[in-house]
Amino acid sequence: MPTAPANAAGIELFYETFGDPADVPLLLVMGLGAQGHVWDVELVEGLVDRGFYVVRFDNRDVGLSTKPDVGRINLMERLLAAFAGQPVEAPYLLRDMAADAVSLLDHLGIAAAHVVGASMGGMIAQTLALDHPDRVLSLTSIMSTTGDPDVGQPDPSVTSVLLTPTPADRDGAVAHSIAASRAIGSPEHFDEERARRRAETSYDRCFYPAGFGQQLLAIVASGSRTEALRALDLPTLVIHGDVDPLVTPSGGRRTAEVIPGAELLEIEGMGHDLPPVFWPTIIEAITRLAARTSTPA
């Protein structure tokens, strides 16, 4: 199993690479509670076909990467305090997860990469661009937001998706994941069999529901990136579905609004998922963005 050595925070990241290391590097960052394999291989191969050397990985607290020992915390109490606007402490923040990604680039000998993040992965990608701008060739933020509390908030109809505990048994966990995927996904393009395969793979690789809550706490404790993003000088693409009920479209619109020169691609009929019907559009947009940059020697 390819795993990067422990970084300064003691985090070892499981990763996979696709394509020729001599090609243009592209780092994929996945979202809340999701393992790296949720970036479908076929989507990854579509990017490889466009000349990218693609890296996908498990964030800390999911999959085969390190689960940091955070001690005993009352997660619900802290989340409720955060939602009430009170300051909260988290075991780690999005900037720590961005630093994890940088340590993976270091391990792979990649000076800088095109960075593509989905949902929480978009938040990590934004933070990576802010904290380590020399390591990012371009930024693509998909179905994500800025951390501002007035945009991108879940539609009340799907709030329970975030807060309902996942059953511990395999059948129950898979059924819960399928139901969640259906609730937040693209209404016209939900594929139950694909959702089932993804859920079964995730459960069999590593069932660790605590990581979901701790990552959620990292999101809410990290606050808004808006003012910092206003000064970001980096080719940026923001992709968002116009029927996303989990991170509602205002989150993507705000992201594109505050980043100078950012392009907003709002995809009709796309929810909080990446069904195959939209892959050609997404691959083309990322490739077009990358063409605006030059890779350092």
Please give the pLDDT value at position 1.
Answer: 65
Where does residue 120 rank: exposed (0-12), middle (13-18), buried (19+ CB within 10 A)? Answer: buried
Annotated catalytic residue 131 = no
Q: What are phi and psi of 83, to 5 degrees?
A: -65, -25
In this structure, is residue 2 part of a structural domain?
A: no
Task: Show the beta-strand stretches assigned E in 195-255.
Answer: 236-241
Annotated catalytic residue 106 = no
Out of 37, 202, 272, 273, pick the active-site residue. Answer: 272
How many Cα atoms sit within 13 Å of 4 on the Cβ side? 30
Task: Return the structure tokens found at 81.
Answer: 């305090």
In this structure, is residue 189 part of a structural domain?
A: no
In this structure, is residue 29 part of a structural domain?
A: yes
Please give the pLDDT value at position 296.
Answer: 46
Q: What are the pLDDT tens digits along the chain (297 aa)?
A: 689 999 999 999 999 999 999 999 999 999 999 999 999 999 999 999 999 999 999 999 999 999 999 888 887 788 788 777 788 889 999 999 999 999 999 999 999 999 999 999 999 999 999 999 999 999 999 999 999 999 999 999 898 777 788 999 999 999 999 999 999 999 999 999 999 999 999 999 999 999 998 999 999 999 999 999 999 999 999 999 999 999 999 999 999 999 999 999 999 999 999 999 999 999 999 999 999 886 443
Domain span at 41: 15-157+209-290
Domain count, the chain: 1
Cβ atoms < 10 Å from Cβ of 209? 15
In this structure, is residue 4 part of a structural domain?
A: no
Question: Which CATH number is 227's domain given?
Answer: 3.40.50.1820
Out of 65, 119, 138, 222, pick the active-site residue. Answer: 119
Confidence (pTM):
0.96
In this structure, is residue 84 part of a structural domain?
A: yes
Please give the pLDDT value at position 297.
Answer: 38
Out of 114, 244, 250, 273, pick the active-site residue. Answer: 244
Annotated catalytic residue 272 = yes
In this structure, is residue 186 part of a structural domain?
A: no
In this structure, is residue 57 part of a structural domain?
A: yes
In this structure, is residue 122 part of a structural domain?
A: yes
